[in-house]
Structures are given as structure tokens and as C-alpha cells.
Chains A and B, each alone.
Chain A
Amino acid sequence: EPEVTQTPSHQVTQMGQEVILRCVPISNHLYFYWYRQILGQKVEFLVSFYNNEISEKSEIFDDQFSVERPDGSNFTLKIRSTKLEDSAMYFCASSDRGGIYEQYFGPGTRLTVT
């Protein structure tokens, strides 16, 4: 069964450093998402992406964040200058249709900012 993969599974970085979280969505999917979950808090939507552009972003997704689909398979989330409060589990998801149909999630990347 096809699945969404994410690398790395755990990333530790120092405050102020740039990180890139990588996702490989399911191959025929066209809609891509990033969510995050700070420990003990709700899963929060960050951004959705379709046709090589952001279709929606949350207030969390400020200028420090960017997303890219650099080739036909990867979907990345970059945080330019990490803050302590960026420590969270980051989930990538993809779907084959727009609107709210099933989103398939990856296993997540745990980002720890020290």
C-alpha cells in the first residue's frame, strides 16, 4: 500500500539554525499539507499546497516558514531560523483530490530546538 514518508524521524537543531523537513507524498497525489503538534497540544494546520503554490496557510506559517516541491516526488518544509517554540512533531499529508477527502499522513518528524 502506498504511504507518505518523512525524513528525518527526529531532528535536533540549535536555535537560529535552518532546518528542512522532507516528505515524499503518495505518487499520484496532487494536494500536500503540513501540520504540526506541539507536545500536549492539538494538531495544527500549517499550510496546504497545490499546483506549485500555497493554497492556504495559517497564522503560524509566517515568513520563517516556506514550502517547496523541488522535484516530482519531494515536498519540503523549511524553517529559516528556528525558535525554541518550533519544537514539535511535524506531519506531512497528501491527498489525491481537493476539498476534504482523505488525507494520508506520514509518520512525522520530531523537531527539537535547543
Chain B
Amino acid sequence: AQSVTQPDIHITVSEGASLELRCNYSYGATPYLFWYVQSPGQGLQLLLKYFSGDTLVQGIKGFEAEFKRSQSSFNLRKPSVHWSDAAEYFCAVPYNNRKLIWGLGTSLAVNP
């Protein structure tokens, strides 16, 4: 069965530092992959998605993610973090084309 693992429950970075949030998936075929962000008091907003093609995907707010089939990973990156990036980040994969299976999430704190 499909599953998603986000190994880091909580990460703290300094503003301006680079960021990488890890996501590993278990899936038989080439998956669709999503990253969502949840800011405090907000809903889940799609950051970016991978369906096919170029393995480096650009998203909103300066985020990107790279699909690596050999590592079953889809890590989220940002070269320079802003204080407003403090939020909960979720990786997700679809199951049966009708629902999303989610990782536990990574809580990002940004130090000034």
C-alpha cells in the first residue's frame, strides 16, 4: 500500500538559511506527488506537484522539489527561508486516484 514518510517532525532554521524538508514514499509505479503547506489558522495550500516530466518542480513562494525515483524521495527545498515560511509542511501521494495519503508533516520554525 502507498505510504508517505516525513522523517523530520520539527525543523528550525535561521531566516535567510537554506531549507530542505524530506519526503519518502512507498509506491509501486511512478507516483504523483504533492507538497502542501498549512500556515497557522489557514487551510492546506498546494505548494507544488509532480505528475511527470522534469524531475525538478517549481512551486509557489520560491519552493522547489526534486523527484528522485532511485531514492523514492520528493524533498522540498528553498534557498533562502523567510520568517513567513514558518508553517506545517505536508507531503502527499494519491491512492486510487481518488484520495490523498499524507505524511505526518514537518513543522518549520524560523529564527530571526
Q: Name A's B-contacting residues (CB within 8 A).
A: 3-4, 6, 33, 35, 41-45, 48, 55-56, 58, 91, 93, 98-100, 102-108
Contacts and interface: CB of A to CB of B under 8 A. Distances in A.
A41 B92 CA distance: 14
B41 interface: yes
A55 B49 contact: no
Contact of B102 (A42, A99, A106, A108): A42
Contacts of A45: 95, 99-101
B44 A91 contact: yes
B74 interface: no
A68 B93 CA distance: 26
Contacts, number: 56
B1 to A, nearest CB: 13
A50 to B, nearest CB: 9
Contacts of A41: 104
B46 A102 contact: yes
B34 to A, nearest CB: 8
Given A4-B43, A107-B41, A100 B102 contact: no
Contact of A105 (B36, B41, B49, B95): B36
A104 B97 CA distance: 15
Contacts of B36: 105
